[in-house]
Chains A and B, each alone.
Chain A
Amino acid sequence: MYRTSSYLLKNANIYKSFFSYIVMKRIREEIIRKILYSLEEKPSSIQEISKKVGSNWSTTNEILEELKKDRKVREIVSTEKIRLFKLARDDTYLDIPISNKGKQIGFYLFNKIKKEWAKKMGKPPMNTDVLKVAVDVLEKTNLSRELPTVWYLFGKIPILKYSPEVDYPISDIEDSGRIDKEVSVSIKAFSTKRTVYERMLQQYETYNNELYKSKEKIRDMLNKNLDDEKILKELENEIAKFYFCIPTKDDASGIAMIVHEFIILLEKMILSLKKLDRFKKEITDAFASIWELVAIYMFFDSLGSYEQFKNREDLRFIYFENSIQYRISNAKDFLSQLNSIYLNNLDNLPEKMNYSKEAEAVRNMFFEMGIEKEK
């Protein structure tokens, strides 16, 4: 009798603990769901999140740490005073949020392009082909309002990532007829170009993007013989053009200043060292780091033109600032390395510039600033 009661009591305790474990687990899952939901709206601090989800600070903090480990959230600001978290979205670039409608359009489009391309070209498309056709279609059908397209490293792309392994689910969407038609037209247009590279240039031409065209010309020239005077002359003209095309908005000024440093440094190397082939790798690396910086700004700038992202300051702070700062520091490292090479090899002054009335006029005004004193 005694043993039986004890046995029952023991089992009752087990059931009780199990039950409370289940309840606790459910409560915790509910908090997790609420936390993730609250971050859908905007990045928040631990305190803001705990208020929104009705949980205390330490539980919220503990769960956020777990979610961070599972890569479901990212900590974007981490100071003594404040820690800010944002939702990690693996399906878009830089965790940029998109509407469900935008996602459905993207899935439909990717699916359609993949099939159509394989049918027409007899092989599956490259990632970049899918993205370029998708951009074309989104722009022509005006659906980029739902699924924004942005300029990035190799041209214009939708903010939704494409992966060839994924079997994209298709749901009924409005305008599917127009999308299908434009997909065919766009694939036909792109198929006239043989290589991915040519198709990339075609996109730059289509959107008449002088900055991207210039970037590609510079990359092309950097592959040539940099001891050749003619190539260096062309490079000199092209880097000036590239610099001229850098965006001029106030929030681009920090980036433009770094581009300025690179352009002047390269111009100095061309004018004073004359033969640059032996420094090709360092110059190419520095230019690549500059381009990564410019491209992330172009992403931000083009995204900021959409109504849903019109608050540029917030957009930059939440989704871009960390990447921009990282790339600035990276570009500075490459520039510093290139500058050391230039200084270590500066053994002669460049030849004097050829005189012209126009150049003299610029020079005369240019040096007025130098003659005046610093205050």
Chain B
Amino acid sequence: MKNFFLDQSVIVGYASFIFNEPETIIKAIERFGKTCTDFIESNKKEQFVTCFYIIENDLPKFKNRRKIALQEIRKKLHDPSYEIGSSEMATKYLYKRDINWANRIFSLLGILSPKQLFQLLIKIDAVFSIRIDYLIGNIIDKIVIPIEEINKELGNILREFIDDYSDCNVFASVLQYTTESESILETKKFFFLTLDKEHFNENNISFIEQEPRLKNYKFPEMEILI
């Protein structure tokens, strides 16, 4: 049996496959979703793993930002003169790119009524969220390394190679898990599944693997789905 570690990008990718549409009109975003879904569906007999950092930190934060961004859109739908991103909560929690995202969603009013737009946003958010819940509850077999057990020293070393703080914690969780559960690597294959070519490409990981301070850690096989 193989072990697949699901990165957040794969979880979100799986959750984004929501339409029942013909192959011919499948667009880029749907392709991410379809690729992740097909992969997971066709490997259902294998073991899927993810880490607490993704489940308890990354995903809730991501959902919360989206929730706030949706509130901003709702405000703008009520009052077109409202400037998205100017509320106290948006200022505190949203990134500039989230505000741009909310503005782009609002621009869809050209083709939809406020009511239609709002209903679609709720429905898409709900379907997306069900798929995440289903993946976590019914497909992922194991969630590993509680956040407080992430090795800070390991995280700091990884930070020298990977500029994203969250990715460092996720990859530290992976290394700790593969190393602490040696049998996985001896008897089974352990794959790190991601869509993130930028941070987790093979060259980058091979380079990190050569770092002498990490010589005692077992590295997974990298599998970039796109």
A212–B61 Cα distance when bound, in Å, is 32
Contact at A240–B71, with CB atoms within 8 Å?
no
Min C-beta distance of A14 to chain B, whole Å: 67
Interface of B is mostly: helix
CB of B133 within 8 A of chain A?
A: yes
Contact at B130–A248, with CB atoms within 8 Å?
no
- The 5 A-B pairs of least Cβ separation, nearest first, read A352-B20, A267-B126, A355-B21, A370-B12, A248-B75
Which residues of chain A have a CB within 8 Å of any CB of chain B?
A: 236-237, 239-241, 243-244, 246, 248, 250, 253, 256-257, 260-261, 263-264, 267-268, 271-272, 342-343, 346-355, 357-375
* Known A260-B70, A351-B20: A272·B130 in contact at CB below 8 Å: yes
Residue of chain B at shortest CB distance from A342: B133
Contact at A347–B138, with CB atoms within 8 Å?
yes
Contact at A264–B129, with CB atoms within 8 Å?
yes
A375–B65 Cα distance when bound, in Å, is 12
Which residues of chain B have a CB within 8 Å of any CB of chain A?
A: 8-9, 12-13, 15-22, 25, 27, 29, 32-33, 58, 61-62, 65-71, 74-75, 77-79, 82, 87-89, 95, 97-98, 101, 104-105, 108, 111-112, 114-131, 133-134, 137-138, 164-167, 195-196, 199
Contact at B122–A355, with CB atoms within 8 Å?
no
Q: Specify which of A243, A263, A353 is in contact with B124 (CB 8 Å cutoff).
A: A353
Contact at B25–A355, with CB atoms within 8 Å?
yes
A263–B134 Cα distance when bound, in Å, is 19
Contact at B20–A359, with CB atoms within 8 Å?
no
**CB-defined contacts of A366 to chain B, threshold 8 Å:** 105, 121, 124-125, 128
Contact at B18–A373, with CB atoms within 8 Å?
no
Contact at B105–A364, with CB atoms within 8 Å?
no
Min C-beta distance of A256 to chain B, whole Å: 6
**CB-defined contacts of A357 to chain B, threshold 8 Å:** 111
Min C-beta distance of B211 to chain A, whole Å: 22
**CB-defined contacts of A239 to chain B, threshold 8 Å:** 122
Q: Specify which of A250, A343, A374 is in contact with B88 (CB 8 Å cutoff).
A: A250
Contact at A264–B125, with CB atoms within 8 Å?
yes
**CB-defined contacts of B111 to chain A, threshold 8 Å:** 357-358, 361
Residue of chain A at shortest CB distance from B59: A374
Contact at B87–A250, with CB atoms within 8 Å?
yes
Contact at B9–A349, with CB atoms within 8 Å?
no
Contact at B88–A355, with CB atoms within 8 Å?
no
Contact at B108–A363, with CB atoms within 8 Å?
no
* Known A240-B118, A368-B104: A248·B74 in contact at CB below 8 Å: yes
Contact at B88–A362, with CB atoms within 8 Å?
no
**CB-defined contacts of B133 to chain A, threshold 8 Å:** 268, 342-343, 346
Q: Specify which of A244, A362, A373 is in contact with B120 (CB 8 Å cutoff).
A: A362
Residue of chain A at shortest CB distance from B114: A244
Residue of chain A at shortest CB distance from B32: A371
A348–B12 Cα distance when bound, in Å, is 18
**CB-defined contacts of A271 to chain B, threshold 8 Å:** 123, 126-127, 130
Contact at B166–A349, with CB atoms within 8 Å?
no
* Known A248-B79, A368-B104: A355·B20 in contact at CB below 8 Å: yes
Q: Specify which of A350, A362, A365, A374 is in contact with B130 (CB 8 Å cutoff).
A: A350
Contact at B112–A267, with CB atoms within 8 Å?
no
Contact at B115–A241, with CB atoms within 8 Å?
yes
Contact at A244–B97, with CB atoms within 8 Å?
no
A354–B130 Cα distance when bound, in Å, is 16
Residue of chain B at shortest CB distance from A348: B134
Contact at A375–B167, with CB atoms within 8 Å?
no
Min C-beta distance of A45 to chain B, whole Å: 27
Residue of chain B at shortest CB distance from A352: B20
Contact at A244–B115, with CB atoms within 8 Å?
yes
Can you list 24 A-B contacts (CB < 8 A)? A241-B115, A248-B75, A248-B82, A253-B89, A257-B67, A264-B126, A346-B134, A349-B134, A353-B20, A353-B123, A355-B20, A362-B108, A364-B29, A365-B101, A365-B105, A366-B121, A366-B128, A367-B16, A367-B33, A370-B62, A371-B195, A373-B9, A373-B166, A373-B167
